[in-house]
Structure 1
Amino acid sequence: MVPVPELADRARACADRLRSVDDVLLASHIDADGLTSAAIAAQALERAGVPTELVFKNQLDDEEIASIAAREFETVLFTDFGSGQLETIAEHAARGDFEPIIVDHHQPADAETQYHLNPLLEGIDGASELSGAGACYLLARALEADVDNRDLAKLAVVGAVGDMQAVDGELVGANREIVAEGVEADILKEGTDLALYGTQTRPLPKLLEYADRPRIPGVSGDQSGSIQFLESVGIPLKDDGEWRRWVDLSMAERQSVISALLQRGVDRGVSADALDSLVGTTYTFPGVSKGTELRDASEFSTLLNATARYERADVGLAVCLGDRGDALDRARRLLANHRRNLSEGLEWVREHGVETRPSVQFFDAGEAIRETIVGIVAGMAFGTSGVDRDRPIVAFAEKSDQEIKVSARGTAELVGRGLDLSAAVGTASRAVGGDGGGHDIAAGATIPGGSQEAFIDRFEECVVEQLA
């Protein structure tokens, strides 16, 4: 049974068509949502007896779509992208290059295709209510026969969390239906706990030192301060010489730390809204050992982001499919490298600053920040010195000698005022000979080298119109 009734007909139509084909080429995006989308679809197709070959793409543009057509598969399943490139895909379909089946959650282009599963087509927000992995989960539920695919809800939740779909720390809308199925199937546990990244794996002092949302004065960004704070609460920091982690604490110890953090925040003037975010909804997986990245949806999604963004989508996919040996070891090494690169990228932004206009802010990292992670760095930059949360931020990075990667990030408050980065980035990129799209709160594009200034000019015009 498809758990989101509004999308049931679309899911069944796509599933019925996939059952009837001899084989399928599955093309997917490379971020955490894209990897989990591919893993869900691949497992569901395997269980349904449909031979499948996978290919991953960093960005789906005309050249990449042509390369997919050259694979000479009669059927191509696009997951976590394809809706925004529907015009080009439809042209290939009209020529008989392949039959497309699109399972996505990004803003659709103004074109038609017969098999298209996208929440936005039925009035469901694809930025906060259903991720690409969530849409693939609906497809999997429509595909199932003898096998109950509810176990795949775990990956759908990882994809949604990795796609930053949690609203005030909680998955909402159609995502809630998937969470409910995961809880019912006993592969997911939903709880309330400290809402900081790293509760499974980070040593306690590091957990608090790296906490910046909310930022607790005297603790955040201060290693000795975080240690002194924990000692003042009476929390033993080590057990048999090993650093304790949040998951190692008793419930009483956790409550003591949270209460002390809240009191420290009140005493140091942290806003009530910021302090409210200190505790939130958590999604963990009971069948996974405590203290590992795979136990928690947030840490699992970060691990996946650290694979395909460094040309190792095969590693992330293998982890999603259950490899707990070589693939997981490799993913952990990639994660350590990913964290270093993000830290260095954020430090680069702090050192060089951002250029500010009345309605937007931006930075051009050139080759200093990898184009596959510059959007993550842009999102992390919100709240740092000199970066204003009242303006969307645009990041540029060199993609090739001729192309520039554009990543734009906003905030929930700006979206509430009318910001739609998908529309703004799409319009501005096409105005300079590129193309792009995405969500209202996050979007990306590829534009010709040297067109950054013209892009920003058009982008700001769009933002001004939206926020007016």
Structure 2
Amino acid sequence: MILTDINTFSSKFEEKIKGNMIHLVSHFDTDGITSAAIMSTILKRLDAQFSLKILKSLSKEDIQDFPKDKILILLDLGSSHIEELSSLNNQVFVIDHHEIKDTTDTTKINIINPHLSKEYENLCSAELCYLIGRKISSENQDLSHLAIIGMVGDTMEKHINKTRDKIIKDANVKVKKGLLIYPSTRPLDKALEFSSKPYIPGVTGDPKGVYEMLREAGIEKIGKTFKALIDLTDQEMKNLVTSVMLRLSSDNKEKEYLGNLFLVKFFNKIEDAREVSAMINACSRMDHPGIALAFCLGSATAKKRAERIYVKYRQHIISGLKHINKNKKIKGREYIIINAQDKIKDTIIGTMASILSFSSIYKEGTIIIAMAYNDDKIKVSSRMAGRNPKSPRNLKELMESVAQTLGGESGGHKHAAGCMIKKEHENEFIKLVKKKLDVEIVKV
């Protein structure tokens, strides 16, 4: 079981870091940032001295640049680079949940990864960090809300396993069933206007469309503002669900867009965990991971800055969706390739792919490949459409295969993966992906 593995890992972790300098490395998404916030707090409470670096992705060059005289702790990354990490003379700890090759030799490093556990439990890196902290000291229970935010950030909220349920109870989180539009704690008109998961045709990005739908649902302003989603009556919620579903085209749409809302206490207010997660993610995607981390650690100044960044980020998202909608895409059987080039930030292209995968624009199982320039490289994000796609195709293997052919690097999961290639291989990449997907479709 994962908790047995956590206990073993935690004991060795606490023993090895005593009196040593530590270099903490974490991914820049919500799970990575919350993992970094949890782990940095744990280390401070242990009086450990450490440096911290947040990365968009982990490359071989990054590993070569790691300090040679410090213990390395990698959070939410590392599983795709076990061989390189094993060759270092450093003591290495990896806390990650990404898929790992069955043939990988992990004996030379210390790793906790649910995929290596005898009984797999779907946990994110922030949850793993929290469980380690909780094992080290009960004082760290106050970090449990960050684990929940990280979990929601990695869209794992549909599956509440035994271990996750314990974390939810530790965090005293209120779980409420409802329409998966966020923030559920803010005025409904604004939540709908900026809704990207789901993307609602004729409503997202269109204030007139929002008012028309709310009028149709019989939801009116109270004074000068609309109610928040969590404050709707049962009848108002039913009416709203009907109005939203009429605008979506997915077969199992009601099941897809109704689910758990996690309400956490953050800055002494009850907040929608998805909204907090989105703010953290926005800061990193807009090149401010330091603000995201400070926000998680409770800085009021960082909170104000994060709120401003989030407004700009949502504007970028709406603009990006409009660009994708208007511009030419490469369409194949059960796949689509979107080459945004320099029109969408490389830090946002993955979010675009995710939004489209949940949007019901494409049928379940459709592969979405989204590309954007990153200096002299191209960031590629791939997603499989649908909330629980049952396609036998594996995006991690697809990205790995193409990236290796072109000398790039890759990582991810079966239904969500990515890679980084040189810009000079742009056309070759598209040809290779089309060829591989066309062959796979024939096989399937």
TM-score (norm 1): 0.84
- Equivalent of residue 353 in structure 1, options 291, 310, 328: 328
Pair 1:50–1:452, CA change in 2 (3 A): same
Change (3 A) 1:384 1:435: same
Counterpart position of 1:38: 36
* Counterparts in 2 of 1:14 and 1:116: CA distance versus 1, 3 Å: farther
2:239 corresponds in structure 1 to 260
Change (3 A) 1:272 1:213: farther
The alpha-carbon distance between structure 1 residues 221 and 124, as it changes in their structure 2 partners (threshold 3 A), is: farther
Q: Distance in 2 between the 1:106 and 1:330 partners? A: 31
Structure 1 contact 415–440 (Cα < 8 Å) conserved: no
Please tell me whether residue 153 in structure 1 is matched to residue 144 in structure 2: yes
Any idea what the Cα deviations from partners look like across 1:274-309, whole Å, max 9, x if unmatched? Answer: 12344321111146555xxx7111001100011122
Per-residue deviation at 1:53? 1.4
Q: C-alpha distance in 1, partners of 2:397/2:19? A: 35
Aligned equivalent of 2:81:
85
Q: Deviations over 1:27-66 (max 9, x none)?
A: 0111111100111111112222222211111111011112
Partner Cα separation in structure 1 for residue 326 and residue 286 of structure 2: 25
286, 293, 296: which one aligns with 1:310: 286
Letter of the aligned partner of 1:28 in structure 2?
S
- Partner amino acid, structure 1, of 2:100: P
Distance change in 2, residues 1:416/1:9 (3 Å) = farther
Q: Which residue in 2 is equivalent to 1:237? A: 221
Which of 83, 97, 104 matches 2:96? 104
Deviations 1:234-260 (A, max 9, x none): 544143x3x2341673xxx43122121
Could you tell me whether the CA contact under 8 Å between 1:7 and 1:119 is conserved in 2? Answer: no
Q: Secondary structure at the match of 2:214?
A: helix
Distance 1:121 1:349 in 2: 39
Matched, 1:246 2:228: yes
- Going from structure 1 to structure 2, the CA distance change for 1:385 and 1:214 (only over 3 Å counts) comes to closer
- Partner in structure 2 of residue 12 of structure 1: 10
> Which of 412, 432, 442 does residue 438 from structure 1 map onto?
412
1:265-414 aligned within 5 A: 273-286=252-265, 288=267, 290=269, 295-324=271-300, 326-382=301-357, 387=362, 389-401=364-376, 403-411=377-385
Q: 1:119 aligns with which of 109, 114, 122?
A: 114
Uncovered stretches (5+) of structure 1, i.e. residues with no partner: none
Give yes or no for the alignment of 1:172 onto 2:160: yes
CA distance in 2, matches of 1:232, 1:265: 10
Flag the 1:220–1:315 CA change in 2: closer, same or farther, 3 A.
Answer: closer
**8 A Cα contact 2:184 2:230, kept in partner:** no
Query: Which of residues 169, 175, 191 in structure 2 aligns to 1:183?
Result: 169
TM-aligned CA distance change 1:28 to 1:14, over 3 Å: farther
What amino acid is aligned across from residue 172 of structure 1 in structure 2?
A: I
Provide Cα deviations, 1:408-430, integer angstroms capped at 9, x if missing partner.
11135775222321121111101
- Partner AA of 1:273 in structure 2: N
1:16–1:455 CA distance, 2 compared to 1 (3 A): same
3-state SS of 2:262 partner: strand
Tell me, yes or no, if the aligned pair for 1:48 and 1:143 is still in contact at 8 Å: no
Shift of 1:380: 1.7
Name the stretch that deviates more: 207-216 or 277-286: 207-216
Q: Which segment drifts farther, 406-415 or 273-282?
A: 406-415
In structure 1, what residue type is equivalent to 2:110?
Y
Q: Does 1:139 align with 2:153?
A: no
Counterpart-to-counterpart distance in 2, 1:270 and 1:51: 53
Q: Alignment partner of 1:65: what SS?
A: helix
**Alpha-carbon distance, 1:155 to partner:** 0.8
How far apart in 1 are the matches of 2:38 and 2:110? 18
| Contact 1:137-1:153 at 8 Å conserved across structures | yes
- Structure 2 unaligned blocks of 5 or more: none
Classify the secondary structure of the residue corresponding to 1:311.
coil
Does structure 2 retain, via aligned residues, the 8 Å contact 1:183–1:189?
no
2:154 pairs, out of 163, 172, 179, with 163
Q: Which moved more, 1:154-163 or 1:351-360?
A: 351-360
8 Å contact from structure 1 (residues 6, 122) kept in 2: no
CA RMSD of aligned residues (A): 3.0
- Note if 1:423 corresponds to 2:397: yes
- Amino acid aligned to 1:341: H
Is contact 1:134-1:159 (8 Å) kept? yes
SS across alignment from 1:416: coil
Question: Separation in 1 of the partners of 2:247 and 2:80?
Answer: 46
Amino acid paired to 2:228: W
**1:266 to 1:333, Cα distance in 2 relative to 1, 3 A:** closer
Q: Deviations over 1:353-411 (max 9, x none)?
A: 3201234321211111111111111222347697554421111111122x211111113
Cα deviation, residue 197, structure 1: 1.6
Alpha-carbon distance in structure 2 between the residues aligned to 1:460 and 1:16:
48
CA 1:227/1:358 → structure 2, altered by over 3 Å: closer, same or farther? closer
Query: Offset at 1:138?
Result: 2.2
Whether contact under 8 Å (2:378, 2:422) holds in the other structure is yes
Taking the aligned partners of 1:306 and 1:179, their CA distance within structure 2 comes to 27
Which amino acid is the alignment partner of residue 80 of structure 1? D
Task: Go from structure 1 to structure 2 and tell me whether the alpha carbon gap of 1:44 and 1:238 turns closer, same or farther (over 3 Å shift).
Answer: same
Give me the identity figure in percent.
Answer: 26
TM-score (norm 2): 0.88
Equivalent residues, number: 439
**C-alpha separation in 2, matches of 1:41 and 1:183:** 20
